[in-house]
Amino acid sequence: MKDLPTIALLGNPNSGKTSLFNQLTGLRQKTGNFAGVTVDKKTGVCALDRFTDALILDLPGTYSLYPKSLDEQVVLDVLANPKNPDHPEVTVVVVDASNLKRNLLLYTQIADLGFHTVLALNRVDVAENQGLDVNADQLSERLGVPVVAINARTGEGVDNLRFALRHELKAHFEPQRATLPIRDFAPALLDDIKQTFGLQNDYQALLYAGQYQTLRFLSTTDRQQLDGLLKKHDFQSTDAQARETLERYRHISQVVDNSVKATPRAEDDTITTRIDRVLLHPVWGYLVFFGVLFLIFQSIFSLAQYPMDAIDSGMAGLTDWLKNRLPESRLTDLLTDGLLAGIAGVVIFIPQIAFLFCFIALLEESGYMARVMVIMDKGLRRFGLNGRSVVPLISGVACAVPAIMATRSINNWKDRLITIMVTPLMSCSARLPIYTILIALVVPETRVLGLFNLQGVALMGMYLLGFVAVLGAAWVMKWMVKTRERSYFIMELPTYQLPRWNHVGVSVWNAVKAFVIQAGKVIVAISIVLWVLATYGPGDAIERAEERVRREATTTPNVNLENQLASVRLEYSYAGYFGRAIEPAIRPLGYDWKIGIALITSFAAREVFVGTMSTIYSLGSEVDDAQQATIKERLRTEINPDTGGPRFTPAVAFSLLVFYAFAMQCMSTLAVTYRETKGWKYPILQLLYMTALAYLAAFLVYQGLK
C-alpha cells in the first residue's frame, strides 16, 4: 500500500467526508495512528479504474488550517510538511452544498498550499430543498478545479469522482491556481522563511510564520530561527490571520454569488426545524434525551443477554473440552484457567459493546447526537465540561478505553483533560457482572408500581450514581486545572436522515475491534500473571495445607475434597498472602482477606471479581447458569467468624457496589490515559483520586449501614 499514490479526504465536520471514504474504500480499510501522534487515521484502497489503485487517507474533520483541537492539528501537520509519510499527492475537499461559504474556507487554504484538488459537492439535494441552486460548472470555472456533485450517502456521483481523481493524479505536476495573493501579506518575511527552510510555496511559509509553535515537525532550532525572523520583520500572526480570513471570505462570497441562485424559503416550514422545536427545547429536549437513554440501556441489557449467555456457555464448554482432552499439568491449567479465562473476560462483553455502539451510531447517523451535544453543553459547562463531552461519557457506559480516545474531538485542552479524568467513573459494562450478583444478594426481586423491577431500579441507580460522580469530580477539577485557553462550543446541526446500516455496521465493527485489541491484550496478559500468583505460593505452604485438608477429609464425611483443596490452594498462594496483607486496610469497609483477593485480581478487569469469588468459596471458576444461583446462595450463607452472622450483609454488599462504582480497577484505562496525556502524571492522579473516592464512599456506606 505504501507504493500507491495517496489521496487525502478533507472537509468540515459533518460534511459527509467519512461517508465518502466508506463509498470509495468499502471494506478495504485499516486503522492506525498518525506518525508520532495517538490520533486514529483511517486508510483504504480505492480502485480508480481496472488498472489504477490509490490509497485514500481520511483526515480528521476541520474548519480551517488554524487548528483548535488535537485532531485538527494533525491535518496541518500532514499538509504543511512534505516529508510527512502521509503527505498526499492529491486532495479531495468535501463541501456541503447547503453551506458553501463556510465550507469553501478550507478549500481555499488547501488550494493555496499548491495541492491539486477535486471539490466533492455533497448534499446537493439538501441545498435544493432549501431553495439553493448550485451550478457545479460555474463553480468549477470560478475556482479552476474539477467540481463533482455527489451524494455520499447513496454513492451517486462517486464514479465521476474516481474519474476526476485519476485525471488529477496524472496532471499533479501542473501548477495549481492560487486563490489569494499570499505574498502580499509579508513579502520580505516570506522570502526569508522560504530561503531559510527551502520552501517553494508562499502559503506554506505563512503557516510556518503563524503556527511555528505548534507544528510538531519543526525542531527547537527551527522555532528559534522563526522566532528571530518574526521579530526582525515585526510580524503579528493574529493580525495576519484575521486579515487572511477576511480576504478569503471576500473571495468566497464572489464565487458563491456567481455560482448559487437562492430562492426565498421559509425556514420554519422545514421538517428539521419542526423537530428541533421539541428536541432542542429547554425542557422537552432533556426529557426526550433521558427517555432515549433509558430505552437504550433497557434494550442493551435485554438484547445482549442472549449472545452473552451463548458466549459464556461456549467458553465454558471449550474449557471443559480442553481439560478433558489434555493431560493434567500446569501447562493445561495455564491454558484453561489463565489464557482462556482472560479471553472469556474480554469476549463475553462484546455483545453489550456492539449493541451500545450500534445505538450510538444510529443516533449519530440520524443527526440526533449533535442535538444532544447542544442541549447538554450549557449544563455540563458549569462542571468544567462541554457538549462534546457527551459522546465520551455515553461511550464510557460500554468501555472507558474507546471513550477516552473519543475525547480527541474536544478542542479545549482543559475540557478534554477533565473529560479524560472523569470518564472512568461512568459505569462501564465490566461493572455489570458485579452489580448483578451483589444486587441479587440484598435487593428483593419485587416490582415498584407494578411495572419496574426493584433490582432493575437499583441497577439503574448505580449508573446514575456514576454520572453524579462524574459531575462532582469534574466540578472539583474545574477549579484545579488552570489554563488561559478559553472554552467554546460550536456544533453544526445536520439535517435528520435515515441511518445507513452499512455505515452503522462499520462503526460497530471498529468499536468492537478497538475494545478487543486495546483492552483485550492487557486483560489477557494480566490474567495470566494473576493465574501464576493464585497457583503458586512461597515455599511448601500450599503442599502442607493440602496435606492437612486431606487428613481432615478422612475424618469428616460428605466433604467435597476438590473444592476444599481449591480453596486452600488459593488461601496459601501468593494472591492469598496479598489478600491477608491488605486485610487490615479493608476491614473498615467490611471486607475480609477473601474479598481482598478479589479486589487484587479484579484490578486487571473488574468482571474478574465474580470468578474470583466463586473460586474462593470452593465452587470453582467454571459456572453455568444453573450454578449461578448456587453461587448467590453460597454467598448468602457465608458466615462472618467475628459476628457469627452472614458475611454479605446489606452493608457489605452496598459497600462493595459503591467501591466498584468509583474504583479505578482497570489497567487498560490507565494505559489509554497515559497514551492520550503523553505521560504518567495524569494516570497516576486518576488512579489515586478514584481509589480514595472509592475507599471513602465504601467506608461511609458500610459504617452507616452496619
Confidence of residue 625 (pLDDT cuts 50, 70, 90): very low
Cα(37)–Cα(85) distance, rounded to whole angstroms? 13
Local structure of 29: helix, strand or coil: strand
Lowest mean pLDDT among 130-139, 190-199, 574-583, 614-623: 614-623
Residue whose C-alpha cell is 531559510? 196
Q: What share of the chain is helix, strand, coil (3-state, %, to 5)?
A: 65, 10, 25
**How many helices (DSSP H) and strands (DSSP E) are in the chain?**
33, 11
The pLDDT tens digits for 174-232 are: 556 678 888 888 889 989 998 999 888 889 899 898 888 888 888 889 889 988 998 88
> What is the signed CA dihedral for 457, 667, 355, 383, rounded to 10 degrees?
60
Cα(356)–Cα(429) distance, rounded to whole angstroms? 10
For residues 297-305, average pLDDT = 66
For residues 82-86, average pLDDT = 85
Residue whose C-alpha cell is 457538549? 387
CA-derived radius of gyration, the chain = 30
The pTM is what? 0.61
Q: Are strands 40-47 and 53-58 parallel, antiparallel or unpaired?
A: antiparallel
| DSSP letter assigned to residue 519 | I
| DSSP letter assigned to residue 156 | B
**Whether 82 contacts 169, CB under 8 Å:** no
Q: Taking 70 as the threshold, does the pLDDT of residue 563 lie above it? A: no
Question: Please, which residues have CB within 8 angstroms of residue 401's CB and are 6 or more apart in sequence?
Answer: 514, 515, 518, 519, 668, 669, 672
Q: What is the DSSP string of 384-453?
A: T--GGGHHHHHHTTT-HHHHHHGGGG---HHHHHHHHHHGGGS--GGGHHHHHHHHHHHS---EETTTEE
Q: What is the DSSP string of 62-97?
A: -SSSS-SSHHHHHHHHHHH-TTSTT--SEEEEEEEG
Instruction: Please report the pLDDT score of residue 35 as a whole number.
Output: 44
CATH label, 6-170, candidates 3.40.800.20, 3.40.50.300, 1.10.8.80, 3.40.930.10? 3.40.50.300
**Whether 287 contacts 160, CB under 8 Å:** no
Q: How far is CA 551 from the centre of its chain?
A: 55
- The grid cell for 363 is 443516533
Q: How many CB atoms lie within 10 A of CB 562?
A: 10
Lowest mean pLDDT among 281-295, 339-353, 686-700: 339-353
Backbone angles phi, psi at 123, to 5 degrees: 60, 40
Of 203, 205, 186, the residue nearest 195 (C-alpha) = 205
Instruction: Please report the pLDDT score of residue 686 as a whole number.
Output: 92
Bridge partners (DSSP) listed for residue 54: 46
**Whether 217 contacts 77, CB under 8 Å:** yes
Cα(112)–Cα(201) distance, rounded to whole angstroms? 8
Q: How many CB atoms lie within 10 A of CB 440?
A: 19
Instruction: Please report the pLDDT score of residue 523 as a whole number.
Output: 59
Q: How many angstroms separate the Cα of 616 from the Cα of each of 53, 288, 579?
A: 58, 45, 11
Q: How many angstroms separate the Cα of 211 from the Cα of each of 73, 77, 318, 488?
A: 10, 10, 57, 21
**Mean pLDDT of all residues belonging to the chain:** 78
| DSSP letter assigned to residue 48 | S
Range list for CATH 3.40.50.300 in the chain: 6-170
Cα(250)–Cα(600) distance, rounded to whole angstroms? 64
Q: Taking 50 as the threshold, does the pLDDT of residue 620 lie above it? A: no
Cα(313)–Cα(136) distance, rounded to whole angstroms? 58
Of 593, 696, 601, the residue nearest 642 (C-alpha) = 593
| DSSP letter assigned to residue 557 | S
More confident residue, 224 or 169: 224
Local structure of 560: helix, strand or coil: coil
Cα(414)–Cα(481) distance, rounded to whole angstroms? 7
**Whether 311 contacts 624, CB under 8 Å:** no
- The grid cell for 72 is 485538527
Confidence of residue 623 (pLDDT cuts 50, 70, 90): very low
Q: Residue-wise over 262-286: b if at least 16 C-beta within 10 A, else e?
A: eeeeeeeeeebeeebeebbeeeebe
